[in-house]
Amino acid sequence: MSVNNPASRLLKIIQDGQKQKKDQQAADAWAAILNVPKDDKSLLLSRVGQVMALPGAIKGEIEQLDNINHQLHLKWLPSVEKSFGILNLQIQCKQFIERFNAETIFGLEVCDDALGRNRPEKVADPGSLESLLKDVNALIADLKEDELSPDLRDFIFEHLTLVKNAVEEYKIRGIRPLEAEVERLTGAVARNPQVWIRTRETDLGKRFWHVMGNLAIATTIVVGQLQIGHEVFDALSPGDGTPPTVQTDVEVNINMLTNDFDTDEKSSGTLPKPALPNGYGKS
């Protein structure tokens, strides 16, 4: 299953729930499904709340499609909303998950098919997300020991936390929160270029921009085509110490990232792992 729309994400979560032990507490089942520590109840409630928002997201996406019967495609919605309405983390898992019968699953599959063909979202590589989260967690840990000025520490910590949450919630929310963080960070640098210069004066700051550059690449690469504004690489890629500028009217063709590939790779129709732009990641 290509998890490229909210219907496919909800289906995947339900399928994972159906694999859980039916007699265990719902809280334990949800913690396993969403990869949340069992003892972090606040985080668990937050993530479950995001799952409960998926039916509304599916409805919104389906209603954007023309030439289909919206009411027919959303016939499953009242049943699912009722199921989420009675959700209690203290009940047994089976009391909730067994409410998703074959008719409900079929309805979600129909929506998944329609959205996957007509309104697909980009899908991030799982290995890239795993590596990104590992780097982000390492930076957060090192940030506690690094002697940064309070304003730079707060800036880096805020953006690392947003990326961490977006990666951990990818199973529920998809790629859009990660894309939003790239845009947020690019805008922050455009408004205050000095923060880019000052953070680059530290080893941890250089690592931060390297990780954010990898985030920019991970959220803009799709099989078959790539369009990414110069501002992303200007703002997020290490350069020669010159403050970045934003040029929203210029786009970079995929060949600018794939010029290290041979002709056979380019013509194969499959996008290999991209080479970083010249000078990227170097001090």
Predicted local distance difference test score (pLDDT) of residue 3: 85
Q: Distance between CA atoms of 153 and 148, rounded to whole angstroms?
A: 6
Note the pLDDT of residue 31: 95
Q: What is the pLDDT of residues 88-111, one digit of tens each?
A: 888 899 988 989 999 999 999 999
Number of residues in the chain? 283
Give the other-Cβ count within 10 Å of 212's Cβ.
26
Distance CA 78, CA 83 (A): 9
Amino acid at site 11: L
**Residue bearing tokens 């109840």:** 41
Contacts 24+ apart (CB under 8 A), 78-82: 79/103, 79/104, 80/55, 80/104, 81/55
For residue 191, pLDDT over 50 is answered with yes
pLDDT digit string, tens, across residues 1-45: 668 999 999 999 999 999 999 899 999 999 999 999 989 999 999
Higher pLDDT, 279 or 200: 200
pTM here is 0.76
Task: Pick the closest to residue 218 from 265, 165, 172, 257 (CA basis).
Answer: 257
